[in-house]
Chain A
Amino acid sequence: MTQNRLARLLNLVPYLVARPEGVPIAELAADFGVDADQIQSDLTMLWMCGLPGYGPGDLIDIAFDADEVRVLFAAGMDRPVRLAAHEALALSVALRVLADTPGVGDRAAIASALDKLAAAAGEIPADVTVRDTVTDPQAERYAALVASGHAARITYYSASRDTTSERVVDPIEVVAADGHAYLRAWCRTAGEIRQFRIDRIDACSELDEPSEPLRLTNQPAPTAFLASELPRIQLLLGPGAKTVTDAYPCDEIVGEPDGRRRVTMRVRDLDWARRFVLGLGGDAEVLAPAELRDAVRQTAGAALARYQPA
């Protein structure tokens, strides 16, 4: 993110004051997130600014030797500007999120960093509470597993398949998202990186061998697992099923005149979708595909038959 130019100019002088030994132009440019030409023109502008009088001894003086920049006269700008309200808020709210996430780091250090930031900002103008970021009490145990660097054998219940299976995984990290904690790991059985919801891991034993996640790539977060090539379904949601739009990423949501919502979303596969729709308790109607509509009806019909007296 590039900073507003005025803010950058006001930062440049104290940055150079703090580094009296000189800084190469390329390093300055990299640190300020702009190119070398921009830094050159920033320095040229600063050179023309200074204290009232604006004579040779009043203007900011900057020396360029052998491509290194040093400030000779700072015109009183020795320290950077205090953190602005939005800057202090962005960091302090983030620290509060971290403080509420188990296993994320040193709690005491997060708390004292928060105090120091508040002091540096003058005041932090909005109070934000963060609670129950992760409701699973086991999250810390899995953070310790990741930190141990060992592989593990887990028994995992997959809600979408309604099956429990045993697998050996190479843990990568614990991800806290949507109020749940997930173990992100290379699954040796599936041969790919998977996210396991921690409250669905029924058993876990640490193995005496190192965790070697084979492909540490940028895999999507658990909330973003729906890629464009997955099957698309369309549902009509009644009042009881509307929370679906909060909990699952939807491609499109349209309010219908009768108050229902027409939702288009991508699903992992149609068998997952069948279970998903069945779990909405009759508050959802499948518009497409027909195959899914039939599967839902058939499953429900077979279950109903069990309640009819023989």
Chain B
Amino acid sequence: MSNDRTERLVNLVLCLLSSRRFQTSTRIARTVPGYEHNHDDKKAHDAFQRKFERDKAELRRIGIPLQSGIDYLGDGEPGYRIARSDFELPQIEFTDAEAAAVAAAARLWQQPELQSGSSDALRKLRAAGIDVESHAAASPVKSLPGAEAALAPFLEAVASRRTVVFDYFGPRDGAAQQRRIQPWGCAAWRGRWYVAGYDLDREAQRCFRLSRISGKVRLTGPEGAFTIPEGVDVLAFASAADDRQLPSRATVLVRPKRAWGVRRRADQIGPRTPEGDQACFSYTDTAATAAWLASFGADVLVTDPPELVKETIACLQALADDKETP
């Protein structure tokens, strides 16, 4: 931002903050240095109005909302003001433990946008005389939330109700596909980030795992483009894949002193046979369990149930198969 614009904006803020009355743009142009122009020159006046619009948007972006309205003493032309109660950080006091929590929160992010959001917030608190960082305490636990780069743009899009466009590598997709969604909310489940929303091309509700997004997330179209349905539960979307099956019992033979992973999982070991120690455990997902058992190679022999035996043999055959050599 140019020096002139920065100076103009500081003066605009002070001007609009100094009076409770709405000030018309004509009056602002006459008062605040940097806006002066010949009101009767249409070109100059249009240029002023564009400049003023851009300045209002910049103030909104850094958290300064302009109110617009008509001053009852004026000539009916709409004007602007900054209400002190909207502008100022309210009085806020943290206990030592709360300050320590805020300091820890500010250090959590690895995403640059979220890092700068947190540190800008701390600077505002510090300007109000609250130094949370001096209360930072060593914690025995460190949390490393998912560092998905798409999180910050999605949070912004949800907050401003804007449409987002991104490329997504779905579990069944051979290539990343472009998606257009109206995002409703974000959630973290088991250390991963998800977004749920309305997919404009598929015309249905969808949930996306942020780690599967490839490339940049773009916000497009106007703010306030949609409303978020009441009671949306993003977490329910995220965990929907976790369907519950009834458990089955597996019986396997484990070579002596081998396949410790199977032994750890077993709730019953023995008797010993010449082919190995018998081990039993419960499982739900046949395919995943067979793949896991196959990873122990010849140290494990699956004996029951038959579908688990069959599935394990299928895994091993696929692994042992001579495939084309590149």
Is A bound to B? yes
- The chain A residues found within 8 Å of chain B, CB to CB, are 1, 3-12, 14-15, 18-19, 31-33, 45-46, 48-52, 54, 75-95, 97-98, 100-106, 108-110, 112-113, 116-117, 119-120, 122, 125-135, 139, 143-144, 146-147, 157, 159, 162-164, 173-180, 202, 221-223, 239-240, 242-243, 245-246, 253, 255-261, 275-283, 285, 287-288, 296-297, 299-307
B124 near A81 (CB under 8 angstroms)? yes
B window 82-125: CB within 8 A of A:
86-90, 92-95, 97-102, 104-106, 108-109, 112-121, 123-125
Contacts A/B (CB < 8 Å), 30 sampled: A1-B119, A4-B62, A5-B1, A6-B9, A6-B58, A7-B123, A14-B127, A18-B127, A49-B7, A52-B31, A79-B89, A82-B89, A90-B115, A91-B117, A94-B108, A94-B145, A97-B188, A103-B139, A117-B102, A126-B186, A133-B143, A176-B143, A259-B174, A261-B174, A278-B319, A281-B291, A282-B291, A282-B294, A304-B316, A307-B313
A302 near B297 (CB under 8 angstroms)? yes
B287 near A240 (CB under 8 angstroms)? yes
A303 near B191 (CB under 8 angstroms)? no
**Partner among A82, A89, A157 whose Cβ is within 8 Å of the Cβ of B117:** A89
The number of chain B residues touching the other chain, given as a range, is 35 or more
Asked if A256 meets B188 with Cβ closer than 8 Å, knowing A79-B128, A279-B294, the reply is no
Chain A residues near B58 (CB-CB < 8 A): 6
Asked if A173 meets B141 with Cβ closer than 8 Å, knowing A246-B212, A279-B294, the reply is yes
Chain B residues near A117 (CB-CB < 8 A): 102
Cβ of A23 to closest chain B Cβ, rounded Å:
11
Among B14-22, B43-51, B243-251, B266-274, the stretch in contact with A? B14-22
B33 near A46 (CB under 8 angstroms)? no
Task: Tell me the complex Cα distance, A222–B1, Å.
Answer: 41
Task: Tell me the complex Cα distance, A246–B104, Å.
Answer: 27
**Partner among A81, A288, A305 whose Cβ is within 8 Å of the Cβ of B88:** A81
Q: Is B240 part of the contact surface with A, judged by Cβ < 8 Å?
A: no
B315 near A282 (CB under 8 angstroms)? yes
Cβ of B194 to closest chain A Cβ, rounded Å:
10
**Partner among B6, B64, B101 whose Cβ is within 8 Å of the Cβ of A109:** B101
Task: Tell me the complex Cα distance, A226–B100, Å.
Answer: 32
Q: Is B211 part of the contact surface with A, judged by Cβ < 8 Å?
A: yes
A202 near B264 (CB under 8 angstroms)? yes
B window 271-326: CB within 8 A of A:
287-288, 290-292, 294-298, 300-301, 309, 313-323, 326
**Partner among B128, B169, B317 whose Cβ is within 8 Å of the Cβ of A282:** B317
B295 near A279 (CB under 8 angstroms)? yes
A6 near B62 (CB under 8 angstroms)? yes
- Look across to chain A and name the residue whose beta carbon is closest to the beta carbon of B296: A162
Asked if A14 meets B190 with Cβ closer than 8 Å, knowing A88-B121, A129-B234, A307-B301, the reply is no
Cβ of B74 to closest chain A Cβ, rounded Å:
16
Pick from A78, A88, A120, A157 the residue with the most CB of B within 10 Å: A120
**Partner among B3, B31, B106, B139 whose Cβ is within 8 Å of the Cβ of A91:** B106
Task: Tell me the complex Cα distance, A306–B212, Å.
Answer: 40
A133 near B188 (CB under 8 angstroms)? yes
A303 near B290 (CB under 8 angstroms)? no
A15 near B126 (CB under 8 angstroms)? yes
**Partner among A105, A131, A174, A275 whose Cβ is within 8 Å of the Cβ of B100:** A105
Q: Is B159 part of the contact surface with A, judged by Cβ < 8 Å?
A: yes
Asked if A80 meets B124 with Cβ closer than 8 Å, knowing A89-B155, A176-B142, the reply is yes
Chain A residues near B142 (CB-CB < 8 A): 104, 173-176
- Look across to chain B and name the residue whose beta carbon is closest to the beta carbon of A90: B117
Q: Is B11 part of the contact surface with A, judged by Cβ < 8 Å?
A: yes
Pick from A163, A179, A301, A303 the residue with the most CB of B within 10 Å: A303
B139 near A258 (CB under 8 angstroms)? no
Chain A residues near B9 (CB-CB < 8 A): 6
Q: Is B81 part of the contact surface with A, judged by Cβ < 8 Å?
A: no
B window 26-77: CB within 8 A of A:
31-33, 58, 61-64
Q: Is B79 part of the contact surface with A, judged by Cβ < 8 Å?
A: no
A80 near B128 (CB under 8 angstroms)? yes
Q: Mark B252-265, 1 if CB is under 8 A from A, else 0.
A: 00000011110010
Task: Tell me the complex Cα distance, A173–B192, Å.
Answer: 21
B121 near A19 (CB under 8 angstroms)? no
A94 near B63 (CB under 8 angstroms)? no
Cβ of A20 to closest chain B Cβ, rounded Å:
11
Task: Tell me the complex Cα distance, A159–B295, Å.
Answer: 11
- Look across to chain A and name the residue whose beta carbon is closest to the beta carbon of B302: A307
Q: Is B187 part of the contact surface with A, judged by Cβ < 8 Å?
A: yes
A120 near B89 (CB under 8 angstroms)? yes
Pick from A242, A287, A306 the residue with the most CB of B within 10 Å: A306
B14 near A97 (CB under 8 angstroms)? no
A304 near B317 (CB under 8 angstroms)? yes
Given contacts A82-B86, A84-B61, A105-B101, 10 further A-B contacts (CB under 8 A): A6-B58, A54-B33, A75-B14, A77-B13, A77-B17, A98-B101, A102-B141, A179-B191, A281-B290, A306-B301
Task: Tell me the complex Cα distance, A139–B143, Å.
Answer: 12
A126 near B158 (CB under 8 angstroms)? yes
A87 near B10 (CB under 8 angstroms)? no
Chain B residues near A243 (CB-CB < 8 A): 171
**Partner among B62, B99, B109, B287 whose Cβ is within 8 Å of the Cβ of A7:** B62
